[in-house]
Chain A
Amino acid sequence: MFHWLEKHPFFFAVAVFVTIAFAGLIEILPNFAQASQPVVGTKPYSTLELAGRHVYIKNSCNACHSQLVRPFKSETDRYGHYSLSGEYAYDRPFLWGSKRTGPDLMRVGNYRTTDWHENHMWEPSAVVPGSIMPAYRWMFKNTADIDTAYAEQVTVNKVFAVPYNQEIPMADGTKATVKLGATLEEAKAEALEEAKAIAADMKNQDVKDAVAAGQIPEIVALIAYMNSLK
């Protein structure tokens, strides 16, 4: 059989393809039948948070920070409850990372604050002596891309039925609603309100001025995203 295949390239290629595709069929497809169901308390990202997530991706934060707490005591002691599949239901893409040069950030919103992030992103080693993380000062100048974040929200809402403008059950029994602006202008106004609340806790004057003038620096969006990670 093998001698015959080696003389018939087409059938050889078909045989190779079937052999390599086999594993994917058995291993990958079944999980897709049961698309990720959000757990109670998992909300879609707001426009500002999503813009912050884009800043996180733009700077490949995931190259050094994981977002996956494994079910070991040493990890739950350090980072909080281990990760559940449903908590990632709105993560497109997933940001688990593959290397922890820095600590896990899955629940960083539980134990770090806006001003901590502000100081840390400006000069990491001033906040954590011995840190090898570089400073990210350009984030205080660059403007966050709210338009693209809104476009992504509209897309996932339309295509994947991500529940914006719907009541979502929270862990404490209350309901929460994440707003999706009907227009880009509405979404921008919404994001600016959120940004103002964050900028109020910051001390960098350039950032405060920018927000007051209706601009949202990347750092503000990033902190909104960080604070949402719980």
Chain B
Amino acid sequence: MENRPLEYDYTVAKMFMLTTVLLGIVGMLVGVILAWQMAFPAVNLMLGEGLAEYTNFSRLRPLHTDAVIFGFTLSGIWATWYYVGQRVLKVSMAESKFLMFLGKLHFWLYLLVVVAVVGSLLMGITTSKEYAEFEWPIDIAVVAVWVIWGMSVFGLIGIRREKSLYISIWYYIATFLGIAMLYLFNNMAIPTYFASGGIGNWYHSVSMYAGTNDALVQWWYGHNAVAFGFTVPIVAMIYYFLPKESGQAVYSYKLSLLAFWGLMFVYLWAGGHHLIYSTVPDWMQTMGSVFSVVLILPSWGSAINMLLTMKGEWQQVAASPLIKFMILASTFYMFSTLEGPIQAIKSVNALAHFTDWIVGHVHDGVLGWVAFMIMAALFHMAPRVFKREIYSKSLMNTQFWIQTLGVVLYFTSMWIAGITQGMMWRAHDEFGNLAYSFIDTVSVLHPYFTIRAVGGTLYLIGMFLFAYNMYKTMTSARRVDESELQTASPMGA
């Protein structure tokens, strides 16, 4: 065998890098609009009375969550898959015309789905289920995209040179299987047009499950879509990119085994914590609560494994903004996976459920962990994909601090807002009457909504810096050759 590094083909990775950046900006921009609408309702009419239907909070809200989950995050997952997959399996996409074709088909079909989703959500075509809003025609297209990705994953694995699957591959496989199972079951619905013999809208459907059962399936899905969209593939990334960028070996193989199989087994049980004190059977609520706490172990297993990978090399955190992004991501992962189980404890949940504390939790996870890790991955990939150094290190540093400040403002304000509102809802006066009317508990939140909107805006500004830095890296940064790409990524001033 020739003794030279393989030439990998990053065509598809580049395509998904582009949508990661674009849909990240779209999703977060919509989020920032929503945040300002909650602080200042007049923003609902930002494009005038005539377009109010399409700029209204409730119409935009699913667009925000779906754009960040299925736009930004999924693109990031696929961008890294089409990069990491080849490298750890030691095989190039260019070696198989079929896989290359599948990769491109994957991207273009995905883009088609994105367009359909944006259009239909703005029109109010939704099933109402969180992160499963799409009606059946789009669901079918989503399944097609997913199957194509699966063929691509297992196709590449099938022609691999490195026989042993690296840790990241375990997590990508789990992402594929987990989402496939969850998405299929949760979206089971009957198209009413066909069942009724051609009456009404052709795209409308009715859920296969009713009431409590529907809620159970939905949160089994909703919680684990987070697991297999926001945790598993992001862990896949950090297991690859942190050791690569820092030049350090993963601290412990055994810990990664424990964390992986532990996560696989435990995560699915925890969905019940979304339904505490609801009408689902009590034992399920308790299971959800207990397993949420157990979940700390495998979550922290991965996070600690990553932090210990930096053992003896902590000066790199100070020196490299790229390592900073990853270490902060890992730290936020620990933080968020401790906060989640706390909220899943029944007595805490009684206070926290339905409040902004939950919103805060989601965002310290997604902004602090998911988005930081995806951006770090893209920063690491850019010099290797475009054969240029990262355009500006100082811009990266600026972005890092602006966004960190943004996240901190976001979750601290939402903590205060959530706990304040939860306490006010339950407060009674000395005669046993409710102490506050509902609107009192809304008006009091105004300052926190405003701080949150500022935090979100800062994060969005960071996204624009990120996009600019990536664009300059792609187009005009100094060219580098292979020898500069061994460990730490080359960066311009």
Contacts and interface: CB of A to CB of B under 8 A. Distances in A.
Interface of A: 2-3, 6-7, 9, 12-13, 16-17, 19-24, 27-28, 31-32, 35-36, 57-64, 66, 68, 70-75, 77-78, 83-103, 125, 128-138, 145, 147-152, 154-156, 158-160, 184
Given A63-B61, A98-B130, A151 B210 contact: no
Contact of A155 (B165, B192, B269, B433): B192
A30 B405 CA distance: 46
Contacts of A31: 212-213, 216, 280-281, 284
Nearest to A60: B58
A78 B425 CA distance: 9
Among all A-B residue pairs, the 8 with the closest Cβ atoms: A88-B211, A148-B200, A23-B268, A151-B200, A58-B124, A134-B44, A85-B279, A151-B196
Contacts of B201: 145, 147-148, 151
Interface string B30-66: 0000000110010011000100110011110110000
Contacts of A71: 277
A162 to B, nearest CB: 9
Contact of B165 (A12, A58, A128, A149): A12
Nearest to B440: A130
Contact of A135 (B52, B165, B178, B427): B52
A83 B216 CA distance: 15
A152 B192 contact: yes
A19 B261 CA distance: 8
B264 interface: yes
A99 B287 contact: no
Interface stretch (B350-358, B371-379, B458-466): B350-358
A150 B211 contact: no
B468 interface: no
Given A20-B178, A71-B277, A152-B206, A100 B355 contact: yes
A199 B477 CA distance: 66
A93 B200 contact: no
26 contacts: A7-B164, A17-B177, A17-B181, A23-B268, A23-B269, A24-B220, A27-B287, A59-B59, A60-B58, A62-B128, A64-B57, A68-B279, A70-B350, A74-B427, A77-B433, A85-B211, A85-B279, A87-B211, A88-B279, A91-B211, A98-B358, A101-B442, A136-B56, A137-B52, A151-B192, A159-B195
A149 B274 contact: no
Contacts of B190: 155, 159
Nearest to A90: B210
A131 B164 CA distance: 59
Given A98-B130, A132-B442, 7 more contacts: A16-B170, A16-B177, A27-B271, A66-B354, A74-B434, A133-B41, A150-B196
A74 B200 contact: no
Interface of B: 37-38, 41, 44-45, 49, 52-53, 56-59, 61-62, 124-130, 154, 157-158, 163-165, 170, 173-174, 177-178, 181, 185, 190, 192-193, 195-197, 199-201, 204, 206-207, 209-218, 220, 257, 261, 264-265, 267-269, 271-272, 274, 277-281, 284, 287, 350, 353-356, 358-359, 425-428, 433-434, 438-439, 442-443
B204 A152 contact: yes
B197 to A, nearest CB: 8
A152 B280 CA distance: 25
Contact of B174 (A20, A97, A100): A20
B196 A101 contact: no
Contacts of B181: 17, 20-21, 24
Nearest to A59: B58
B279 A22 contact: no
Contacts of B210: 35-36, 88-92, 94, 160
B173 A16 contact: yes
B152 to A, nearest CB: 13
Contacts of B216: 28, 31
A64 B354 contact: no
A3 B167 CA distance: 11
A7 B212 contact: no
Contact of B358 (A12, A22, A88, A99): A99
A62 to B, nearest CB: 6
Nearest to B129: A93
Nearest to A58: B124
B257 A88 contact: no
Given A12-B170, A27-B220, A59-B56, A94 B212 contact: yes
A152 B200 CA distance: 9
A27 B264 contact: no
Contacts of B438: 78, 102-103
Contacts of A36: 210-213
Contacts of B192: 148, 151-152, 154-155
B442 A92 contact: no
Contacts of A60: 58-59, 61-62, 124, 126, 128
Contacts of B428: 73-74
A28 B124 contact: no
